[in-house]
Amino acid sequence: MPLYHSPDHLDHKTTPPPPSHDTTLSHLQPYIPRCMAGMLLLHVGIDLFIEGVYDSYGKFDALEYSGIWLITVVMVTSGMSAGLLVGLISALFTYVYQSSIYVNPLRGYMTATTLRSRRWRHPEAERILADRLQGRHRILVLQLQGNLFFGNIVALTDKVKEILRDKSSRPDDNILIAMLDFALVTGMDSSAAQSISKLKSTMHEQYGIRMTVFVTGRREGFPCEYDLTRELLKSSSATDSMRDDPEPGEPPPSPAPRQFSQLSSGRRSFSSVMPVLVGDRVMETLDEALAYCEDLLVRRRSPGLESSTTDLMGEDKAKHGSIVSVDAGQVLQNLLPRADPQSLEKLLSFFQKETWRRGECLWRQGSVSTSLKLVTRGLLESILEDEAGTTEDIHPGAMIGEVGLVNGVPRFSTVVCKEDCVLYSLSDAQWLNLTQSDPALARIIDLIVIRYLSHRLQHVSNRIFETRCVPI
């Protein structure tokens, strides 16, 4: 017998494979008590039930907790797939309900007596606007917020109707102009947009609103795909020439001053013999909308007066490309209308006329305040350095640098010329001489500073109301 066996002479017997893990378990399965596997599954189920149902008690409101119980019951009776489907439906329903209940789409409302524009006004125009029957009290501002959709738009429109119904029941509180501010609205579906359009018609037809103004709060318009701007303005032309007859209890319109018998506001021409309320408007900012409505109220009582007050700083003419040049004495008269003209003329003698070229810098932010200046011609730009591109145009008719000179604080911003400018400057040496030689005359500058600060404060207050943050 050969000692070596070739593979051909080997017996072809299959070697058994090593036992696998699954095979081992299958061999062990008959030896595991079924009650042990059942208790394991029962333990896992009880643990999940305690964590999801028992421990969550008191951590959710009644609606959310009811949804948890509903999902649990459906999973037990109908299986996991049905439970997941019920959970999705329950979550959507909870979101709709909570959005319509807990997030009030109407943040607040008030008349324009508190919310007023920062436009400079003639004393007579201020008297008209302060009158309860003729002025800002006839403007109602309603500020909306959050996401407007089918779940809360009905409650919003019902609340607005309730407010207008209450206002219209009292003759002294009757509203002429309704203003809806959308600055805090984050989104709006098509059903909500269509409801807003219907609400506008209801306000006109049922509550006697002469004009509605919609403030988008953003340059791109309303936060929705629906073309709400076109829909709101679609019927404006029908009311654009509506005659505005005095209501009961209101005095008739005052005759227009001769020098303002025919005027243009930059938007359209108005006759002094027929005060009008212009149709619905969509505007970008709250301040712009307030100023526009105030102009209309002034025009109702004294056609033409708003032209001499609204464009005090030459902004409207500058927007339309007109070259603006004003008299320095008239600038002081506009800034403080109640001052004695002779005193203003004497004050102007302390100023020095200056000419600045385009691109030149008057001063830098943080530099020492050595003068204040009256702008009589040209356009300047105020720049906040180290900010997100914050700038403000300065038009003829404005006074700049007055706070720094009077209070002795550094410059708040950098000012450069965007055009060739003509300025009248009061130096710190002349200011010191003025305060020592004629304190009564120097007080005029103090009063102008106070008036400027009050207008700036009004602007800040409006912005806090509109956006819930301090403007930069």
Average pLDDT, consecutive stretches of 10 residues, N- to C-terminus, the chain (472 residues): 47 53 62 73 80 76 79 84 86 71 80 81 84 90 87 88 90 88 88 90 89 89 86 62 48 44 30 47 89 88 66 46 67 82 90 94 93 92 79 87 90 93 94 92 90 78 63 44
One-character DSSP codes across 256-299: PPGGGSEEE-SS-EEETTS-B----EEES-HHHHHHHHHHHHHH
Cβ neighbours of residue 220 closer than 8 Å, sequence gap 6 or more = none
How many Å apart are CA 5 and CA 317, to the nearest integer?
115
| pLDDT per residue as tens digits for the range 272-310 | 333 345 578 999 888 889 989 988 888 888 877 766 544
* 399-400 vs 352-356, strand pairing mode: unpaired
pLDDT of residue 352: 94
Strand, helix or coil for residue 355? strand
Cβ neighbours of residue 250 closer than 8 Å, sequence gap 6 or more = 133, 134
How many Å apart are CA 326 and CA 376, to the nearest integer?
5
How many Å apart are CA 369 and CA 403, to the nearest integer?
9
Q: 308's torsion region: left (phi>0), alpha (psi -120 to 50) or beta?
A: alpha
pLDDT of residue 241: 37
354 and 420 in contact (C-beta within 8 Å)?
Answer: no
pLDDT of residue 387: 67
pLDDT of residue 117: 82
pLDDT of residue 470: 47
- Find, among 313, 402, 269, the residue nearest to 119 by Cα: 313
The type of residue at 439 is P
pLDDT of residue 336: 82
The type of residue at 113 is T
- Find, among 269, 273, 278, the residue nearest to 256 by Cα: 273
| pLDDT per residue as tens digits for the range 194-238 | 899 999 989 988 988 988 999 998 888 898 888 888 888 875 544
How many Å apart are CA 110 and CA 139, to the nearest integer?
9
| Virtual torsion, Cα 233, 239, 245, 248, nearest 10 deg | -60
Whether this prediction's pTM lies above 0.75 is answered by no
Q: With helix as H, strand as E and coil as C, how does 125-188 read?
A: HHHHHHCCCCCHHHEEEEEEEEEECCCCHHHHHHHHHHHHHHHHCCHHHCCCEEEEEEEEEEEE
| pLDDT per residue as tens digits for the range 366-393 | 999 999 999 999 999 999 887 666 788 8
How many Å apart are CA 168 and CA 63, to the nearest integer?
38
Strand, helix or coil for residue 397? coil
| pLDDT per residue as tens digits for the range 327-338 | 888 888 888 878
- Find, among 393, 177, 400, 213, the residue nearest to 297 by Cα: 177
- What is the CB neighbour count within 10 angstroms for residue 237? 10
Cβ neighbours of residue 99 closer than 8 Å, sequence gap 6 or more = 146, 147, 149, 151, 152
How many Å apart are CA 133 and CA 122, to the nearest integer?
19
pLDDT of residue 330: 82
Q: Please report the beta strands in 265-413, taking only residues with DSSP state E, as ranges in sequence order.
A: 269-271, 281-283, 352-356, 361-363, 371-377, 380-383, 391-394, 399-400
